[in-house]
Amino acid sequence: MTVAKIPASRMRVLAFTSRTPSGSRASMAVASLLLLVTIVAVLGRVLSPYDPVQPVGMLNLPPGSPDHLLGTDSIGRDLLSRTLWGIQISWFTSLVVVASGLVIGGAIGVTAGVCGGWIDNLLMRFTDLFLALPGALVAIAIVAALGPGLKNTLIGIMIVWWPYYARIIRAEVKSLASRPHVEAARLAGVGRGRLVLRHIVPGAVPTALVTASLDIGNVILLLAGLSFLGLGQSAPAPELGADTARSLQLLLTQWWIPITPGIAVLLMSLIANLGGDAVRQLLNSKR
């Protein structure tokens, strides 16, 4: 049996872009999908045709009904409106979580990488401790202890989300600190603060951004899971995971009602992954 060599272009899964000759243009197009979702999320409330909380039509209308594109749920609320509002909450919440990971993890990673010595050791042992725990599970426990709600969900995920960033940013800072340009700056008498802010941190930004953009999809999935378990906002508020959980009993009769929010989550996470991959290629090709 001969095992064919796996061509390098197929290495990166989900990267349609690397196969096209005009790679960077295609990457731009895919990366701009991230922007598109953000615009949809920003305009979610304007785009949604009805109030997501009020009953506005007949009950359990199927998708494609004249006035309700995605149909209505069991008490006559418009599914398109609820999904759009849900997308808005879900997308922005995950951006906030990823940003918090960048900020907290970045601060710890930069401190550890720049200071070195026992500070580095201490911070990294602490980081490893958190990395070695099952983050999603601990997040569930934290939110359950604090009580459900969007704010507590955010706190719960933020507590477990930074270690990964700290690790990656520290490694990047370490490798940057030994580069010639930092050496040169130090020899030129640049102070420590300026050295870090002007010569090291900007160099770590691309890696941090790539890590963050590839991470959005993970956060979206975790948020949807927590919401499904009832740890998100309370009842009438539109939220994708919770909307599925609340309409489970319709699964065998009107399956689209519980499935629609799930598909919205899938699409967001898919776009986040594709977009993250494209961002990575764009930033890597620039170097």
Partner 1 sequence: MLKFIVRRLGSSLVLILVLSAIIFLLQEITPGDPVRAYIGLNASPEAVAAARESLGLNSPLPLRYLHFLGRLLHGDLGVSFRTHRSVVSDLGDFLPATAELVTVAFVFALVLGILFAVSGALRWWGTSVLRGLLLVLATGPSFLLALGGIVLFYSRLGWLPGGDRGANASGPTGFLMIDSLLHGDVAQWATALQHLVLPALALAIAPAIAIGRILRASLETTMNADHVRTARAKGLSEGAVLGGHVVRNSIGPALSMAGLQLGFMFAGVVVVEQIFSWPGIGNYLARSIPVSDFPAIAAVTLVLGTIYIIANALVDLLQAAADPRLNL
Residues in touch with partner 1 (CB under 8 A): 1-6, 8, 10-11, 13-14, 129, 132-138, 140-142, 144-148, 217, 221-222, 224-225, 228-231, 241, 244-245, 248, 251-252, 255, 258-259, 262-263, 265-266, 269-270, 273
The residue whose two tokens read 């909380």 is 53
Kindly state the smallest distance separating residue 132's Cβ from partner 1, in Å: 5
Residue 3 is classified by DSSP as: P
Which C-beta is closer to partner 1: that of 104 or that of 131? 131
What is the rounded CA–CA span in Å between residue 117 and residue 20?
46
Kindly state the smallest distance separating residue 5's Cβ from partner 1, in Å: 7
Give CA torsion, residues 218, 220, 226, 232, to 10 deg: 150
Which C-beta is closer to partner 1: that of 46 or that of 132? 132
Please report, as a single letter, which amino acid is at residue 174.
K
What is the rounded CA–CA span in Å between residue 30 and residue 26?
6
For the chain, give the longest Cα–Cα distance.
75
Kindly state the smallest distance separating residue 251's Cβ from partner 1, in Å: 6
Which C-beta is closer to partner 1: that of 76 or that of 262? 262
C-alpha dihedral sign at 246, 249, 253, 255? positive
Tell me the residue length of the chain. Answer: 287
Kindly state the smallest distance separating residue 157's Cβ from partner 1, in Å: 12
Q: How many CA atoms lie within 13 Å of 230's alpha carbon, on the beta-carbon side?
A: 8
What is the rounded CA–CA span in Å between residue 145 and residue 14?
38
Residue 149 sits at φ, ψ, to 5 deg, of 140, 155
What is the rounded CA–CA span in Å between residue 111 and residue 103?
12
Which C-beta is closer to partner 1: that of 104 or that of 205? 104
Which C-beta is closer to partner 1: that of 35 or that of 129? 129
Residue 78 sits at φ, ψ, to 5 deg, of -75, 120
Kindly state the smallest distance separating residue 272's Cβ from partner 1, in Å: 8
Which C-beta is closer to partner 1: that of 58 or that of 137? 137
Which C-beta is closer to partner 1: that of 95 or that of 220? 220
What is the rounded CA–CA span in Å between residue 33 and residue 27?
10
Kindly state the smallest distance separating residue 225's Cβ from partner 1, in Å: 6
Kindly state the smallest distance separating residue 60's Cβ from partner 1, in Å: 16
